[in-house]
Amino acid sequence: MICEPVIETFGLSKSYGGFEAAKDLTFQVLGPRITGFLGRNGAGKSSTIKMLLGMIRPTSGTATVLGHRIDDAKQSLEIRRKVAYVGEDKGLYAYMTVEQLIWFTRSFYPDWRPEIEKRLLEEYQLPPRRKVKALSKGMRTKLALLLALSRRPALMILDEPTEGLDPVSIEDLLRTITSITADGTSVFFSSHQLNEVERIADAVLMIDRGKLVLNFAMDELRENYRRVTVGFDRSAPSIDLHLPGIERVRSDGRQLSVLASRNSDAIVEWARRCSATSIDTQPVSLREIFLDTVQMGPEATSSR
């Protein structure tokens, strides 16, 4: 698989008055892959996405999407032509019927694919003559996806696509996302559903309070991240925090819990040299990483 950056940011920042929504974000998103974009509410996910799409201007820094600069008017237009975006509110005209809206949207895109439109209309079982305002939330999401995918975009950006959907609709949506990449389209989606992200994502980008905190491939997480829990029959010795791969250490009397992003063997080795009485190594789920990485709330800022 040849991976090329579809999104690249360089010190991207956005502040609203005194509030910094995005702080000095520098990262790469590779394609054609599925990348999950994680962070708590208000962490800066939507602001970042809006900057990439040219909907708001960065305060400083810049970015490229599919090789086009976001701060150049002409190139930004090109970005919007090649990127499909499905946002939280879906932005559909409520008073139109499904077929009117499809017809209306189609007129804006010269490379519209009628065969994809037809296939998805059937697959999603959307009622062509029903008004958009009378559609369920799940159907509205499917309609937004149909409009986005019929353009055969190079990159699809979704902002919390599964929000408010029932389990069956979520499964349908995830299935659609996995099939998008089969056609060479890259997917960048924000979500709070960590088990969904864990299943379908090839890579994960995590931000917290406007800052980038993690950017890794899911295979890397599965292969290298480990939680090593070490027990002693006396109070636990302090671990050399400079051992490579140590992300977080918690200690509780005679026990130590170490989160390692790699190199867990060295930690086990260390524990053995300190004659630990029990050593247990477990793989780490995305949920654990998330909870361990993002700060728990304003009152807990000093706990790290």
Partner 1 sequence: MLFKLNPSAGQPLYLQVMQQVRYAIETGVLQDGDLMPGIRTLAEELVVSHNTIAKAYTELQHEGWLELRQGLGAFICTRQLTNKPERVRVAQKRAREFVALLRADGFSNDEIQRFLEAEILFPTEAVRK
Q: By CB under 8 A, name the binding residues for partner 1.
A: 1, 32-34, 171, 174-175, 178-179, 181-182, 195, 198-202, 218-219, 222-223, 225-226, 233, 265, 268, 272, 275-286
Q: What are phi and psi of 11, to 5 degrees?
A: 55, 35
| Exposure b/e, 79-94, CB count within 10 A at least 16 = b | bebbbbbbbeebebee
Give the residue with the Cβ less far from partner 1, 82 or 226.
226
Closest contact distance (angstroms) between CB of 181 and partner 1 is 5
Give the residue with the Cβ less far from partner 1, 137 or 272.
272
Give the residue with the Cβ less far from partner 1, 199 or 254.
199
Query: How far apart are alpha carbons 217 and 254 in whole angstroms?
Result: 34
Give the residue with the Cβ less far from partner 1, 89 or 233.
233
Give the residue with the Cβ less far from partner 1, 111 or 220.
220
Q: What are phi and psi of 297, to 5 degrees?
A: 155, 170
Query: How far apart are alpha carbons 304 and 294 in whole angstroms?
Result: 10
Number of H helices, E strands in the chain: 10, 14
Closest contact distance (angstroms) between CB of 27 and partner 1 is 19
Give the residue with the Cβ less far from partner 1, 113 or 131.
113
Query: How far apart are alpha carbons 111 and 103 in whole angstroms?
Result: 14
Give the residue with the Cβ less far from partner 1, 25 or 187.
187
Closest contact distance (angstroms) between CB of 279 and partner 1 is 6
Closest contact distance (angstroms) between CB of 217 and partner 1 is 9
DSSP character string of 56-93? S--SEEEEEETTEETTSHHHHHHHHHHEEEE-TTTT--
Peptide bond into 128 cis (omega under 30): no
Query: How far apart are alpha carbons 56 and 54 in whole angstroms?
Result: 5
Kindly report the number of other CB atoms within 10 A of residue 67's CB atom.
14
Closest contact distance (angstroms) between CB of 268 and partner 1 is 5
C-alpha distances (whole Å) from 34 to each of 14, 21, 89, 199, 253 are: 25, 24, 22, 11, 42
Closest contact distance (angstroms) between CB of 132 and partner 1 is 27
Closest contact distance (angstroms) between CB of 206 and partner 1 is 17
